[in-house]
């Protein structure tokens, strides 16, 4: 199980797609493009933050529950990042203290439930795509989602800055599983095939360093050598 983490516009979905193809495994994507709730959050965060976060928390819980019961998978943003985003909005006074209490209690319940689903299974690697704030803004503008644009909502500038800042802090303290950080400024793997090869090679090397052999193959590798696999 590979977890893909990163700020808005980092390239999480693209890397999820690349890795799932390399592994011949199932990708779990964040629900964004067909999400009717997210534009509401951007239009009025004081009103819709709680609704938006509960929506995403539920989706991330169900994705993780499903993924834990499968052999190989790649997840585009996970339940482990959800608290980062919720508590940033809480610090911005977009939710009440009662909502914070209910959210934290629900998250704790969900994490305990995941322990019951697969008590001995943990994510194998967290892959954090680290990009600078300037690159983050460029990527957001380039992908062109109307509700994300600073040009139409200047207040988003400070929100994006805080999101980017907190992701680095979150990564520094993450200790659930091994982790690796990719330089998303230096390697634009979405646009540059050579950069894509480099980041895939970095991830392969990290996993080979971690792996233990089972039946002659690293535990992350398919037991069938004819099957396509990253490891």
| Catalytic residue numbers, as ranges | 76
Are residues 77 and 35 in contact, defined by beta-carbon separation less than 8 angstroms? no
Is 99 one of the annotated binding-site residues?
Answer: no
14 is in an annotated binding site: yes
Please list the alpha-helical segments (H only) found in the chain: 12-23, 38-43, 45-68, 79-91, 97-117, 133-143, 156-173, 193-210
Give me the count of residues in the chain: 231
| Closest C-alpha among 3, 10, 4, 2 to residue 130 | 10
Residue-wise burial string across 121-150, b where 16 or more C-beta atoms lie within 10 A, e elsewhere: eebbbbbbbbbeeebbbebbeeeeeeebee
* Annotated binding residue 103: no
Query: Which tokens go with 51?
Result: 């609704």
139 is in an annotated binding site: yes
Token pair belonging to 156? 């988003």
142 is in an annotated binding site: yes
Does 144 belong to an annotated binding site? no
Question: What does residue 43 show for φ and ψ, rounded to 5 degrees?
Answer: -75, -30
Q: How many angstroms separate the CA atoms of 222 and 226, rounded? A: 9
Is 148 annotated as ligand-binding?
Answer: yes
Is 11 part of any known ligand binding site? yes
Query: Is 9 part of any known ligand binding site?
Result: yes
Residue 135 CA to residue 56 CA, distance in Å, equals 25
141 annotated among ligand-binding-site residues: yes
Q: Is 102 annotated as a binding residue?
A: no
Whether residue 94 is annotated as binding a ligand: the answer is no
Residues flagged as binding site: 6-14, 30, 42, 53, 77, 82, 139-143, 148
**Which residue ranges make up the annotated binding site for substrate?**
30, 42, 53, 77, 82, 148
Q: Residues comprising the binding site for ATP?
A: 6-14, 139-143
């Amino acid at each position: 199980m590979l977890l893909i983490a990163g700020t808005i516009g980092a390239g999480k979905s693209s890397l999820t797609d690349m890795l799932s193809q390399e592994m011949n495994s199932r990708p779990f994507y964040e629900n964004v493009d067909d999400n009717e709730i997210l534009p509401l959050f951007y239009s009025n965060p004081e009103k819709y933050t709680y609704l938006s976060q509960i929506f995403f928390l539920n989706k991330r819980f169900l994705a993780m529950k499903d993924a834990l019961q499968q052999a190989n998978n790649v997840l585009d943003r996970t339940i482990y990042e959800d608290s980062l985003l919720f508590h940033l909005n809480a610090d911005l006074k977009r939710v009440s203290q009662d909502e914070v209490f209910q959210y934290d209690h629900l998250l704790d319940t969900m994490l305990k439930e995941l322990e019951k689903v697969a008590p001995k299974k943990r994510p194998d690697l967290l892959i954090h795509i680290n990009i600078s704030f300037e690159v983050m803004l460029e990527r957001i503008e380039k992908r062109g989602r109307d509700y994300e644009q600073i040009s139409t909502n200047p207040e988003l500038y400070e929100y994006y800055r805080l999101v980017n800042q907190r992701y680095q802090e979150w990564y520094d303290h993450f200790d659930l599983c091994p982790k690796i950080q990719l330089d998303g400024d230096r390697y634009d793997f979405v646009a540059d095939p050579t950069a894509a090869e480099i980041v895939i090679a970095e991830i392969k090397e990290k996993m080979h360093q971690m792996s233990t052999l089972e039946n002659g193959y690293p535990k992350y590798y398919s037991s069938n050598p004819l099957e396509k696999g990253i490891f």
